[in-house]
């Protein structure tokens, strides 16, 4: 029986959002971009993006990726360039848009898509590139300047920032000012968890206008479908939970940062870095979804997952196997993936939740080295 689970999702409790529910009873609107959803979007745009650009909620981040990719992709393009070191939703979303994933290796320190490999692929594939889909690895504030440049040059970019809402650098929410599209997840396991849902942001309001219309059956001001669409609307109930979560998000982020600090202290106290363990090179403030480390070169994550499991501690290995090693994607082209394959064999994602106690973290780290 597991004593220390991998995650303990902590969606805001009922008493925190119950007052918002009266708006649903009064309006009798339960979806269809109702008043709570509009209030939720307005607050997010103002409080987290300084009123720059536009946002639209979606029923989940995978749907958000599909809508954004479908709206931005170059119509004659074939390939969606992305890291293999990402969640399977990323290549699946591209495939739903009629594209072929093309996997790019990652940087050995930041674990994000390697810019040199990406640039080489862009030059080699030329007009066959339909879109580029970077992954903001584990919610990191990846540098968007390069992606802004290629987007402005006509190669559309959609950022998969599923765990990235609440991440910031020098006080600026990750993704602000980006003129492509950025997709965030509000799944219960994410730092900003409301149960299920997501958000698409862009500094280009026209992109969001089109994504929103596509998420409403392709309606553009009339009841006539004018573009490829589906139903991606966020129910008012989840918007109510989202509003209450915004009321307390600073507390939730602070709690997660304390857990990260505790993990880092334990790594230092037990000299894991000097023993060959490695953490992700990150930038800014990240309210992590979980805490990931690499075991030493020549060792493998399966050994440590079994070791922790024997002590009733649940750990996982995001992302192993990497996408290009999975049955659904194994047939697709890719660059040299030496770094991806090495990291996917060593990655170890450790238990993490808000309010996690120091003693629990200490037990996990001691088990790794015992």
pLDDT of residue 220: 78
Query: Across residues 356-369, what is the average pLDDT?
Result: 97
**Are 48 and 69 a contacting pair, CB within 8 Å?**
no
The pLDDT-based confidence of 243 (bands split at 50, 70, 90) is very high
Q: What is the pLDDT of residues 257-266, one digit of tens each?
A: 999 999 999 9
Nearest Cα to Cα of residue 340 among 316, 324, 317, 329: 324
Task: Quick: pLDDT tens for 172-198.
Answer: 999 999 999 999 999 999 999 999 999
- pLDDT tens column, 60-86: 999 999 999 999 999 999 999 999 999
pLDDT exceeds 90 at position 222: no
**pLDDT at residue 221, rounded to an integer:** 80
Portion of the chain with pLDDT greater than 70, in percent: 100
Closest to 11 in 3D by CA, of 252, 312, 365: 252
Q: What's the mean pLDDT when you consider all of the chain? A: 97
Q: Given phi > 0 = left and psi -120 to 50 = alpha, else beta, which region is 50? A: left
Q: Tens of pLDDT along 295-350?
A: 999 999 999 999 999 999 999 999 999 999 999 999 999 999 999 999 999 999 99
Convert the pLDDT of each residue in 38-61 to its tens digit.
999 999 999 999 999 999 999 999
pTM: 0.98
Compute the chain's Rg from CA coordinates: 21
Among candidates 340, 344, 342, which has minimal Cα distance to 298? 342
Catalytically active residues, by annotation: 190
DSSP label at 187? B
**Mean pLDDT value across residues 246-265:** 97
Q: What is the 3-state secondary structure (H, E, C) of 243-267?
A: HHHHHHHHHHHHHHHHHHHHHHHHH
| Domains along the chain with CATH numbers | 14-245 (3.40.640.10), 249-369 (3.90.1150.10)
Alpha-carbon distance of 199 to 242, in angstroms, equals: 11
What are the φ and ψ backbone dihedral angles of 127, each rounded to 5 degrees? -70, -10
First-to-last C-alpha distance (Å) of the chain: 21
Among candidate residues 315, 264, 255, 319, the one with its CA nearest the CA of residue 287: 255
Q: Which tokens hold the place of 20?
A: 């918002």
């Amino acid at each position: 029986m597991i004593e220390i689970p991998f995650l303990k999702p902590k969606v805001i409790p009922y008493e925190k959002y119950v007052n918002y529910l009266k708006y649903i009873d009064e309006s009798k609107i339960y979806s269809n971009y109702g008043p709570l959803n509009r209030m939720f979007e307005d607050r997010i745009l103002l409080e987290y993006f300084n009123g720059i650009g536009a946002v639209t909620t979606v029923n989940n981040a995978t749907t958000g990726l599909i809508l954004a990719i479908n709206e931005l992709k170059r119509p004659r393009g074939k390939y969606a360039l992305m890291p293999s070191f990402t969640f399977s939703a990323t290549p699946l979303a591209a495939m739903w848009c009629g594209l072929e994933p093309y996997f790019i290796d990652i940087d050995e320190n930041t674990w994000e898509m390697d810019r040199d490999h990406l640039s080489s692929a862009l030059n080699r594939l030329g007009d066959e590139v339909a879109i580029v889909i970077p992954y903001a690895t584990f919610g990191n504030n990846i540098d968007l300047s390069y992606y802004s440049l290629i987007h402005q040059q006509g190669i559309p970019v959609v950022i998969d920032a599923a765990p990235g809402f609440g991440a910031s650098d020098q006080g600026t929410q990750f993704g602000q000012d980006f003129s492509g599209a950025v997709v965030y997840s509000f799944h219960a396991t994410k730092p900003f968890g409301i149960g299920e849902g997501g958000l698409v942001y862009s500094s280009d309001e026209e992109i969001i206008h089109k994504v929103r219309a596509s998420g409403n059956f392709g309606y553009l001001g009339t009841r006539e479908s004018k573009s490829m669409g589906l139903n991606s609307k966020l129910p008012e109930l989840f918007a109510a939970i989202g509003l209450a979560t915004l009321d307390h998000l600073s507390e939730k982020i602070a709690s997660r940062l304390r857990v990260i600090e505790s993990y880092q202290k334990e790594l230092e106290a037990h000299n894991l870095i000097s023993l060959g363990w490695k953490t992700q090179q990150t930038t800014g403030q990240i309210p992590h979804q979980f805490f990931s480390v690499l075991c030493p070169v020549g060792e493998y994550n399966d050994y440590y997952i079994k070791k922790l499991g024997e002590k009733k501690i649940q750990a996982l290995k995001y992302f192993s196997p990497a996408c290009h090693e999975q049955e659904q994607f194994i047939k697709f082209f890719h660059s040299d993936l030496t770094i991806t394959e090495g990291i996917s064999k060593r990655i170890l994602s450790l238990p993490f939740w808000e309010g996690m106690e120091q003693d629990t973290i200490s037990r996990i780290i001691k088990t790794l080295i015992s």
